[in-house]
Structure 1
Amino acid sequence: MRHTITVLVENEFGVLTRVAGLFSARGYNIESLNVAPIQDKTVSRMTIVTRGDERAIEQIKKQLNKLIPVIKVDDISHTVHLEREMLLVKVAASPESYNALLELADSFGAKVVDDHIDSHMILELTGKAQQLDEFLSRLSDFDVTAMTRTGPVGMRRDAKGFNLD
């Protein structure tokens, strides 16, 4: 089963390596990983997406909690939560394809972040993974020259925050 785990860690050298090493040592793949500081710049929030059965994920959570720079761990997979990804995609553009690209971007709510009518267009889309997948599928009619995705970031929908307590 797919799990989205959020982790608050001290924002210091080597933390990412230690967390990734914990997964690697147990033979688990990290499907996606996002890390960024929160309001308190001494703390970062990680969003880790992995797959495993409940027993294995419980073990991973326990091991994460034992790492010194880890402050808090939460598997939000079984809670009501939001997940979003961001996609940047570069598409070859020409005067002939330009309007069709704009229409497609508009229909998905994508933003044009770089625009050169005679060479390329860079589009940005934020949404659920399925929405990004559908957008990329529709872009297959065009010449996609580069793309990158963040992988999901997630947050519980309840009123309480996932902060330092």
Structure 2
Amino acid sequence: MEYVNFDAQVGDLSGVLDPSRYLSYLPSISGHLPPGARAFATDADHYDFRSRRCVKDLTLRAVRSAGGEEMEVEFQHNCWKHDEDLLIRYAGVSSFTVDPVDKSRGTDLGAVILDEILPHGDGCSHEIACWDGTLTIVCRDLQATWTDTVCSSES
């Protein structure tokens, strides 16, 4: 990640997750993001840790090719925090990289820590940091959709 700080210091506490540098930078780049990416990145709930629509703590459930340069990434809720799942559809995918901490895990990257969406020559880059690796997608644009879910002991 270029702007999100995973090891910030707050008083005597270190190792604090801090997206403030990215959030300060976002207004200057939002006009350079494609419309769907801009809407998702600038949503007030996206980086609000108390929000049910904050991406933090979602779990990567599936990565699917939707044909050609289309891709879908599905995230599952955590019942203690979210009441919706998140599906992101990527159009015009020019690059897709999974970087797991342990290569044997494939796309099993664990829970989301945070993400960054930045302008790119092909549209935008979306880097998603998880506890067990990183997923990076470069695309023309993306569309994020939150869908209702039911929490159960199986979730």
Please give the range of the TM-score, normalised by the shorter of the 2 chains: under 0.3
Structure having the larger proportion of residues in helix: 1
- Give the number of the structure whose residues are more often strand, by fraction: 2
Higher relative contact order (CA 8 A, sep 6+): 1
Using the size of structure 1 for normalisation, the TM-score is 0.23
